[in-house]
Chains A and B, each alone.
Chain A
Amino acid sequence: MTALYRRYGPGLTGLILALTGFWIIFLVTLPQLDMVDYSFRPNLSMSERGGPNDVYTLQNYATLADNAIHRAIFLKTIWASALVTLTTLIVCYPIAYHLAQGTTRRQAALLMLLLLIPFWINEILRTFAWWILLAYAGPLNNMLVALGLIERPIRFLSGDGGVIVGMVYAYILFMVMPIYNAIESLDRNQIEAARDLGASPWRIHWRVVIPHAKPGIAVGCIMTFMLAAGSYAVPALLGSPGSRWFTQIIYSWFFEGGNWNQGSAYAFILLLLCIGFIFGVMRLARIGLADIAK
């Protein structure tokens, strides 16, 4: 703090502290704490707040345990997000490797640009594009029928399939970039040396490239899982009443059920899920927070 003051004098230091403080305290920390606090209180009318009924309770959490449908949706969200993460990893790893090691710098720059363009476009629009493609009377069904692969159109948009496909598409970049960065720092000679020693391509990847790319893979998985589990846009567009996502239940507690306390409890559970995943992966890959934020 004194270093800051020495460097920037009273005026600027004050401004720096005020802005940073406002952000950390009023935009990040307190709102989160408030949400947690909310989740442990009963849903009361304005007049009852602070009264004898305003006590801490676990009742909002009991709701999830008791409600079989919500429980199922919560578990579905977990495994579907994990599936999205795994699929995205499998789809993206070869691309990241090719960009980082398999091509010239010029070509990599061009491919990178191609990769970036879809992601400068709205997530909603990208999802809308899939909505068109996957529609019951849409081009994909028409094509499959015309090719004789299926007899009748498939309702892609009424199951979880559409949501998962849309999510993999939406989060590709969050997986490619960290893995690309990790593999790019790998000395190409190491791969050459392994090949020279007679290692098969599989073995080179398994023993040389993947261990080196582990931090990048971990970061990609963390981002993808977090985005998938917390996504509201993709399931809202590509899902249906039969394939609801946990975030949608949270939303309906807030804006349809009018029970913010209940919604807060569900949101906190979602947050804990993400934190648990993040720390689990960080431990597995032995990385720190500073690695994630690159």
Chain B
Amino acid sequence: MSQGVELRGVTMRFGDFAAVKGVELDIEGGEFFSFLGPSGCGKTTLLRLIAGFNDPTEGQVLIGGKDMRGIGPNGRPTAMIFQNLALFPLMKVWENIAFGLEVRGVSKAERRKRAEALLELIALPGQGDKQVSELSGGQKQRVAIARALAVEPQVLLLDEPLSALDLKLRQHMRQELREIQRRTGVTFIYITHDQGEALTMSDRVGVMSAGRLQQVADPQTIYEQPATPFVAGFVGENNRLLGRIGRVEGGAAVLDSAIGPLRGRLGGDLAVGAPAALFVRPERLGVQPASGTPGQGGHIPATIVSRAYEGAFLHLTAEAAGGTVLTVHLANSAGLPDLQPGAAVALIYRPEDAIILPAEAAA
């Protein structure tokens, strides 16, 4: 089993600017862990702290239980796949792959052999004598992976490595990366702003915003039970309705909003009267004729503003009382209602599909 990474109160400041603030996290050995966040959230800084290009201003980075402070990138059991791949342009493919072995003093014959084996692994057998510039984008990608794996790292760090590839190749490489991770058992720490990548590949995801770790959980929990409004808004699409807590009933609550009382699960410690927001995903909303009677569930009177037909789905936008705009995704399964812009409807949902979180300070 590979070594894990522990971050203990890690803070990184550049001058007055804190790029990473008090991150506390255990990444287990052999885990595929993703940091997900918008650009500028501090995830790349965090990765470079683990790789050893910088030491944190405060806190500790431990790999395999050992404090890494003062140990440079060449002394850590990590290998990084750079966003631009950083393949050495003046070396042949096999020399790139064997570079880590070369600097460790491995003999040339042995290097060549190991490089060939890795080329086999990444499905580029016999291509070692090519120049890097002769490879396609996907091939370069794989060479970068092989080069990092050649040094048999405990932890592989991946800095948005798929961002330069086209969509189809990107989806293919997701599977391939996951496959390589399973086969090698190396701890993968993956950075991305693409939630699709994070959710499909990872064992666990850490969502970051403004230097802070917002939530760490498995992909399903991240999607179903976001811990903060940021996570609810950043991962997947979400409708947000603002108001104040009207009533708390164990794990559920009622939000008093401009539309009226709205029911949902309670996602945090909220007292009656506290400002809060209710989040409900577009695919969890249903549509009823406006004349229908409100049931036990959520019931939001609204007017259809626009519709977009996409075959398997119908996307609707609707405006509720108070000007709140909501998005609805209807699956094209049991026939679609004939809804045209201007139609008055009621949007319904099951209260357990909605979550009530503390309102963002800024929102």
Contacts and interface: CB of A to CB of B under 8 A. Distances in A.
Interface of A: 6, 9
Contacts of B53: 6
B50 to A, nearest CB: 15
Nearest to B53: A6
Give the dominant DSSP class at B's interface: loop
B72 interface: yes
A9 B72 CA distance: 10
Top 4 nearest A-B pairs by Cβ distance? A6-B53, A6-B72, A6-B54, A9-B72
Interface of B: 53-54, 72
Contacts of A6: 53-54, 72
A71 B126 CA distance: 78
4 contacts: A6-B53, A6-B54, A6-B72, A9-B72
Nearest to A9: B72
Contacts of B54: 6
B121 to A, nearest CB: 31
Nearest to B54: A6
Contacts, number: 4
A54 to B, nearest CB: 49
A263 B54 CA distance: 53
B148 to A, nearest CB: 20
A10 B53 CA distance: 15
Nearest to B74: A9
Contacts of A9: 72
B80 to A, nearest CB: 15
B86 to A, nearest CB: 14
A6 B72 CA distance: 8
Nearest to B55: A6
A13 to B, nearest CB: 13
A9 B54 CA distance: 13
A6 B54 CA distance: 8
A15 to B, nearest CB: 18
A69 to B, nearest CB: 60
A6 B53 CA distance: 7
A58 B72 CA distance: 57
B273 to A, nearest CB: 51
B55 to A, nearest CB: 10
A9 B53 CA distance: 12
A9 B71 CA distance: 12
A267 B179 CA distance: 74
A262 B72 CA distance: 56
B266 to A, nearest CB: 48
A68 to B, nearest CB: 60
Nearest to A7: B53
B138 to A, nearest CB: 31
A14 to B, nearest CB: 16
A2 to B, nearest CB: 10
